[in-house]
Amino acid sequence: MCVSVAIVWLLLATLVTTLTGPSVERTAGRLRLELTLTKGSYVVGEPVGATLTVRAEGEAPLRVQFASGQRFDLIVRRRGALIWRWAHDKAFTQMVQEATLRPGETLSFRASWPQVDLQGRRVEPGEYEIVGVFLARGADLPGGLETPPLGFRVRE
């Protein structure tokens, strides 16, 4: 019985590991950001799936403010040059909004990059990096919070 349970746990751990790809984290003040890709390598034209997760750390609620209806952004670069931004072709309400995150509360934002540049042209195979940006401002965040770059490959 114990061996069966151990095998099930091992299979579940393997499944969870294979369902998530590479990730990077950054903590600033009482917020922790994690950017995760669905995998580390994609075929040309295959959408690059990303999840930006924000977690409130600490013991007290955290009040944050947004300058518009936009909460996050994803930025794709190649050799330092801007290739694509998730928010590039979107419109957001232009109204200051506030939110309170309880200790341990998480917010998750999912989006995918369709492997096109800002002009809508298909990109070439190669090495790219993606950055997740949480656009809140607050006592711990004078200007928002950005993850470190997370590298991935687009291949033939």
Per-residue pLDDT tens, the chain, 156 aa: give them: 544 444 444 444 434 444 579 999 999 989 999 999 999 999 999 999 999 999 999 999 999 999 999 999 999 999 999 999 999 999 999 999 999 999 999 999 999 999 999 999 999 999 999 999 999 988 667 778 999 999 999 999
Residue 121 lies in a domain: yes
Residue 79 in any domain: the answer is yes
> Does 11 reside within a domain?
no
Q: Is 8 inside any structural domain?
A: no
What is the pLDDT, as a whole number, of residue 115? Answer: 98
The answer to whether position 104 is within a domain reads yes
Residue 3 lies in a domain: no
Q: Across the chain, how many H-helices and E-strands are there?
A: 1, 12
Domain assignment present for residue 14? The answer is: no
Return the residue matching tokens 């952004």.
Answer: 73
Q: Which range of residues forms the domain containing residue 123?
A: 20-155
- What is the distance between the alpha carbons of residues 135 and 47, in angstroms, rounded to a whole number? 24
